[in-house]
Copies of this chain bind each other. A is one copy, B any other.
Amino acid sequence: MFVVMVADATEADIIGVKSHILAEGMTPYEHRGAERLVVAVVGEIGSRRNHLLERLGGLPGVERVTPISKPYKLTSREFRPEDTVIRVLDAVIGDGSLTIMAGPCSVESREQLLETAEGVKAAGATILRGGAFKPRTSPYSFQGLGVEALRYLAEARELTGLPVITEVMESNQLDIVAEYADIVQIGTRNMQNFSLLNACGRTQRPVMLKRGYGATIEEWLMAAEYILASGNPNVILCERGIRTFETATRNTMDVSAMPVLDTLTHLPVVADPSHATGKRSLVPPLAMASVAAGADGIMVEVHPRPEEALSDGPQQLTLQMFRDMMAKLTPLHRLVASDRRAAAPA
């Protein structure tokens, strides 16, 4: 439930509300909106709903207490109507600009990474991606260069100024990944690795949470809720395709997730057409579709020589293809964004 404070609530009122919530064994989370301060009450409310509604509703400075039907609380638009905007170095995600996360599936060598980083930067990427620890279906496949890759990513950041995003696969890796990376990524297979979600909730880095390939949108938001409830408000959602019976593509990208999420949550959403389709030629049209449907950005795999890639070669764009895609994506985003501004209330 949410406790909405009156416009002129004092700090003492707010502390009073929070203390009462803590005393009930629940956790308070505050959000300072444009007009009102709201305190979310999270925990196992269960049968104490009415007791809490009455108790908190009577405290000084409280305008009203609202029960929430949605199972996710901090993640919901109801709690926080304003978009979450995340700033990392010079990149801003979720403010209406177009976020482009580009780079190789795996960091394979210093040269490969630096060449890609400079190429994608020149073509308009705003964030550099690259896999250091790779989750692979087979134990016998290339598992990534690990910490060596993290060092190359840091070097590429120095060179290009682009913030770096890379995947973390377990809680024990989080410290070292967060030391080098600007954004940590939770992969599709770990979307409900609750230990990892909790650990990422305690880091200072923004977290990009990929949708589980078998997960509903609601489960995805519940996974994000773990991160927010553990203390980290800076979460980016990434749609990367779901499992269906169709075999023409690796997965089926749920493009409708973009507008659905826009109504349900304040978190920014990017789309990953590389993993969704598994085929290079399908990446640009699905990137276009995602931006047209309202995505805040795109994550895309780019490799100087995809045919030599150690992982996911068939879905990585060449640098030339990436440049061509950017030449189409930029005016499309401008069109969609101007339309959005026109629609926004004065």
Q: How far is the CB of A44 from chain B (nearest CB, A)?
A: 6
- Name the interface residues of A90-129: CB closer than 8 Å to any CB of B: none
B256–A256 touching, CB < 8 Å = no
Q: Which of A72-95 contact B (CB under 8 A)?
A: 72-73
Chain B CB within 8 A of A225 CB: yes
Closest to A256 in B: B249
Is A149 an interface residue when CB atoms closer than 8 A count as contact?
A: no
Whether the pair A258, B285 counts as a contact (CB closer than 8 A) is: yes
A229-286 at interface with B (beta carbon < 8 Å): 229-230, 242-249, 252-260, 263, 276-277, 281-282, 285-286
Residues of B within 8 A of A260 (CB): 248-249, 282
Bound Cα distance from A173 to B170, whole angstroms: 13
Residues of chain B lying within 8 A (CB to CB) of residue A47: none
CA distance A239 to B194 in the complex (A): 22
Across the interface, name the chain B residue whose C-beta is closest to A254.
B252
**Cα A172 to Cα B212 with chains together (Å):** 23
- Mask, A285-316, CB within 8 Å of B = 1, is 11011111110000000000000000000000
Residues of B within 8 Å of A281, CB to CB, are 259, 263
Which of A5-13, A56-64, A130-138 forms contacts with chain B?
A: A130-138
Q: What's the least CB distance linking A252 to chain B, in Å?
A: 6
B140 touches A42 (CB 8 A): yes
Contact indicator B136/A194 (Cβ below 8 Å): yes
Contacts of A169 in B (CB 8 A): 194-195
Q: How far is the CA of A331 from the CA of B72 in the complex (A)?
A: 37
Q: Which among B189, B218, B242, B282 is the interface contact of A193 at CB below 8 angstroms?
A: B189
Centre residue among A141, A192, A215, A294 by max chain B CB count within 10 A: A192
Top 5 nearest A-B pairs by Cβ distance? A214-B214, A292-B292, A189-B192, A170-B195, A289-B289
List 19 additional contacts besides A170-B195, A217-B246, A258-B285; criterion CB under 8 Å.
A135-B192, A137-B219, A139-B198, A139-B222, A170-B196, A172-B172, A189-B192, A216-B248, A218-B248, A242-B246, A244-B245, A244-B254, A248-B256, A249-B260, A259-B286, A289-B289, A289-B290, A331-B335, A335-B335
